[in-house]
Structure 1
């Protein structure tokens, strides 16, 4: 009995120990659980309350209204226009295909549109709207509204799109906006908004940040799957700044229309004192609105494969041999190197250097020529002689001072620098030594020498304003930010030209247009007080062989268009009180005096007729008369 009792007592003790261990473990687990609950619900309560609120409240950005671009008189050049878009919500449509078929009877939907819509629907939640079509007409919007019963899930929304009232006339200046690409992302969340557009070219690109504005935001309450339940608050964005240009839209339109008759041409009209570009045109052009709505592959191919390069702004990036318009630069260099304007050179119609003969454009020669007459009649031999005395380095140095061989800093994308060749340049880039004959032909603006129409206008402006290195610009003012024109005038350094240099060249340019032997006399301005001065230029694009010269040079009009000379002209007006300058380049146009000069004449007449400066201030050349 005692043994059985002892075993029973041992079992009870063992059970008690196990019960205590199990109970202790349970108490320990409950303590840990309680501590964790206390930590989460008391200590971390604020953090989890904020996380829950963030999941419930969603912040959504709204695109700001893009700033306008206007001309100097406030004429709108780029504006925002209401853009009606149609969206489809899949969960509200009974059958997506049937809804799209019904919608296609109202608005055009091709197979590419349908494929894109279905691709976007498959990648989004069923309650998220997908864009079907944009830029709807009011008639299309009305028809969709009338047929809304047959179009379940179809929603029309009003947005904004960029509109360019003057289309091709301003395409190369104003530019266009386009969709944001991967390369455009900078971390700014507004750039990731669906359908957001940024500046891709022209002023739209240069001043994109100022035009873009600041995004607004909307707080909405969403459920667990992201569906919007209600709007809580809304903060409107700040619209972009208005950008005012130096352009006179009436003059710009006139310049563009005047060039339309040429296959490929460009022109620049500038205020020589302020550097304000009043008109800048390049033809052929393109429609910037096509980029805003999105180009088709066929449209893009036709633009980039067009041999006349409509996408290129030839006024700032077309590079041409300047021809005889470069002779003013050589004249300035000659006078700076103590060769007086009265010094004469005899022109028999050619000059021999070694075993090569360099011809003047006038086969029989001009006879005795001083600087005045050499510019007036565009004598090549006179400038051959000047180049022999000066050397290439002296000519290149003056060319750079007058704006050649470098970008002149206009506030437009795509400007090219042209080329002012030197001995070192040729050796480094071509691997050959400079030849004496190359100095001769550079003196008449041929050979390796290249210039843009903008540089030709800048050169003329620096002459007209008495030697100030004015910088051309098309931005006049950015609303609430800065006045660009005033800033440019204050920053224009002096080039160190002597009054005799400037006066001698301008008097000769006056004679080019207003005396009978001048090469642009037939294109002169007849209106008293409005006369222009200028210089013609004809830039060869082919070499004339000795046999052709002996048998008679083929006239430009008898050659294929691509083999004809370029026609150039630079001018200023009015002669007695110079203020405005222009340059004109007509690709393969033939003679500068017969083709480019009449265009420049018309542009300078229209510029003076419009006279955007009102009463013109005294000319900076007044001091040169003393």
Structure 2
């Protein structure tokens, strides 16, 4: 049926309008696409070119060389040495179990290495190499290289590893490094990207830990080409990083080695301070340990042996061990009493062998007492009753204030691990710590360095240095960082009465050099080298009235853990002091009989810069000392020879 012409004309007009609309829409879409293509190619072209490049080129970090650590004379204490290691790449290894089994038959692998490697491999991408063994001898590297076709995914690499040439001598001071752990990362708010590198090592203890950032340096970078799977194809370029700063310590490694040897067989510590600069010349704790064990990955048997040793070889006793200072604290009380103006140097107290306070009897070490005693004699013969009486006159707050001025109850700023502040107790301290009032018996106990009073060997050495000089001597362990000299620890005058200081020093001189002095048996006889000192014996158990009635049990008859601590402090030479020394022997017994001879020997070694002449010792000891010197020299020589490749 034919449509009317008018209807046909209307239909054509409608179709034309629709075609125009559709065409316009198509042109609009083409225009938008064209504009966007232009923007992407011209305006944003650089951005997309960079994104494409990043898909092909990766940046990798290059670990820097760790800074070295030296003693005061330039002797290396921590170095980096070439280290051959064997690594495995999972994506190239095929059957990992079979490959590792073949490798274990070819070379000796560390205990538990295969299990550790498997665990680490499956925590990382398949193309990331995992270390199987470090410090591999060249002969074994050669074996691996020759057998490469039979060991898919196994390669030998060379890098740098930490080594401690002095071995155990400086372990507590220098510390050691170890792989970064999850715990290490959890303590950091913004970890260095370097720490994400597998088995990257950081300082764990001692100077290595305290100066980690300075020693670590900054990473270099390299650009590498990778394929779609992320496998490295080639290195394009690199920019080397900046090695860590070298650190020079104040320690004299020869004196340190001697001190460690002299302490051998004891659970003990010794500190030597240079009075002119505050430099720590020796900071020795015994027994000690080989830090190289931790760098390589310590075995469970070695760790158990260290951790279960009752002498605590992992503890830096010089700064971590806080002990009742015993009679070495009497100089603090004497200075507090004299400075208070309530007690004069010639005032006396009567010692019948004990004092009654609040119904409790406090005994002097000499059962029959000392009679009338002034300050000088109280130090020379170490009368306890004098300090019981004087302390009640001046009060604990004055004693605590003087203790802190002399360095006890203060956390000294030395870069070692877990430095203790000790305790210089006063009324406020006990109220805050125990919510209890201070008692007069607490003051009496504190007056002879017992009760709540605690001091580290470092603090006792600082106390002695300040008494010897009258200056605020501060211990310094680091001489320079990256060649920049660190501030001296010489200190400013403390403002203590010089006459009172001379009185205390004179009494300390007679402790060592007068026939009735408690340290006379350990004196130095060389002219101009005599020392001024003070012994201390601190109890670790309570002696009951019944035990006193039947006779106090001697230390030799007690288990080691219940024996008294032995302490000694001194400075020398007495007339022109150069060094202050503190020695603590845990459960050693008497301070004058055990700690004093060690301190004398270490002091002489420091004064002479090596073995002293036998004339420096009392004539009745010279044969014994000659044997001792020979034994120590042999021990130091053997240790030095073996520590290079410990």
TM-score (norm 1): 0.91
> Could you tell me how far 1:91 is from its partner in structure 2?
4.2
Equivalence for 2:564: 565
Residues 1:391 and 2:395 aligned together: yes
> Could you tell me how far 1:3 is from its partner in structure 2?
4.0
Counterpart-to-counterpart distance in 2, 1:3 and 1:364: 146
Asked if structure 2 preserves the Cα contact closer than 8 Å seen for 1:410 and 1:471, the reply is no
Q: Which moved more, 1:471-480 or 1:562-571?
A: 471-480
Return the match for 1:315 from 297, 318, 329. Answer: 318
Unaligned segments of structure 1, at least 5 residues = 613-626
Equivalence for 1:555: 554
Asked if structure 1 preserves the Cα contact closer than 8 Å seen for 2:185 and 2:191, the reply is no
Return the match for 2:221 from 217, 220, 224. Answer: 217
Match runs of 1:151-162 below 5 Å: 151-162=151-162
- Going from structure 1 to structure 2, the CA distance change for 1:153 and 1:409 (only over 3 Å counts) comes to closer
Residues 1:47 and 2:47 aligned together: yes
- Please tell me the root mean square deviation across aligned C-alpha atoms, in Å: 2.3
Unaligned segments of structure 2, at least 5 residues = 612-646
Counterpart-to-counterpart distance in 1, 2:344 and 2:409: 26
Equivalence for 1:59: 59
Residues 1:370 and 2:370 aligned together: no
Residues 1:207 and 2:206 aligned together: no
Counterpart-to-counterpart distance in 1, 2:447 and 2:123: 66
> Could you tell me how far 1:567 is from its partner in structure 2?
0.4
| Partner-residue secondary structure (3-state), 1:548 | helix
Equivalence for 2:442: 438
- Going from structure 1 to structure 2, the CA distance change for 1:268 and 1:19 (only over 3 Å counts) comes to same
- Going from structure 1 to structure 2, the CA distance change for 1:90 and 1:562 (only over 3 Å counts) comes to closer
> Could you tell me how far 1:483 is from its partner in structure 2?
1.5
Equivalence for 2:359: 355
Q: Which moved more, 1:2-11 or 1:450-459?
A: 2-11
Equivalence for 1:87: 87
Q: Which moved more, 1:199-208 or 1:85-94?
A: 85-94
Counterpart-to-counterpart distance in 2, 1:495 and 1:261: 39
Asked if structure 2 preserves the Cα contact closer than 8 Å seen for 1:276 and 1:485, the reply is no
Residues 1:484 and 2:486 aligned together: yes
> Could you tell me how far 1:59 is from its partner in structure 2?
1.5
> Could you tell me how far 1:64 is from its partner in structure 2?
0.5
Counterpart-to-counterpart distance in 2, 1:606 and 1:419: 31
- Going from structure 1 to structure 2, the CA distance change for 1:543 and 1:15 (only over 3 Å counts) comes to same
Counterpart-to-counterpart distance in 2, 1:340 and 1:267: 34
Counterpart-to-counterpart distance in 2, 1:369 and 1:118: 74
- Going from structure 1 to structure 2, the CA distance change for 1:141 and 1:187 (only over 3 Å counts) comes to same
Counterpart-to-counterpart distance in 2, 1:110 and 1:417: 41
Match runs of 1:106-117 below 5 Å: 106-109=106-109, 112-117=112-117
> Could you tell me how far 1:48 is from its partner in structure 2?
1.3
> Could you tell me how far 1:325 is from its partner in structure 2?
0.6
Asked if structure 1 preserves the Cα contact closer than 8 Å seen for 2:265 and 2:287, the reply is no
Q: How many residues align?
A: 606
- Going from structure 1 to structure 2, the CA distance change for 1:56 and 1:3 (only over 3 Å counts) comes to closer
> Could you tell me how far 1:347 is from its partner in structure 2?
2.1
Asked if structure 1 preserves the Cα contact closer than 8 Å seen for 2:127 and 2:230, the reply is no
> Could you tell me how far 1:580 is from its partner in structure 2?
0.4
Q: Which moved more, 1:240-249 or 1:169-178?
A: 169-178
- Going from structure 1 to structure 2, the CA distance change for 1:375 and 1:233 (only over 3 Å counts) comes to same
Residues 1:346 and 2:345 aligned together: no
Residues 1:289 and 2:292 aligned together: yes
Counterpart-to-counterpart distance in 1, 2:477 and 2:112: 40
Asked if structure 2 preserves the Cα contact closer than 8 Å seen for 1:475 and 1:485, the reply is no
- Going from structure 1 to structure 2, the CA distance change for 1:254 and 1:237 (only over 3 Å counts) comes to same
Counterpart-to-counterpart distance in 1, 2:3 and 2:367: 148
Return the match for 1:329 from 317, 327, 332. Answer: 332
> Could you tell me how far 1:188 is from its partner in structure 2?
2.2
Equivalence for 2:129: 129
Counterpart-to-counterpart distance in 1, 2:7 and 2:436: 118
- Going from structure 1 to structure 2, the CA distance change for 1:333 and 1:214 (only over 3 Å counts) comes to same
> Could you tell me how far 1:79 is from its partner in structure 2?
0.7
Equivalence for 1:540: 539
TM-score (norm 2): 0.89
Equivalence for 2:639: none
- Going from structure 1 to structure 2, the CA distance change for 1:378 and 1:125 (only over 3 Å counts) comes to closer
- Going from structure 1 to structure 2, the CA distance change for 1:485 and 1:18 (only over 3 Å counts) comes to closer
Equivalence for 1:415: 419
> Could you tell me how far 1:404 is from its partner in structure 2?
1.3
Match runs of 1:490-501 below 5 Å: 492-501=491-500
Match runs of 1:431-470 below 5 Å: 431-465=435-469, 467-470=470-473
Counterpart-to-counterpart distance in 2, 1:210 and 1:3: 97
Counterpart-to-counterpart distance in 1, 2:369 and 2:330: 17
Counterpart-to-counterpart distance in 2, 1:16 and 1:595: 118
Equivalence for 1:268: 271
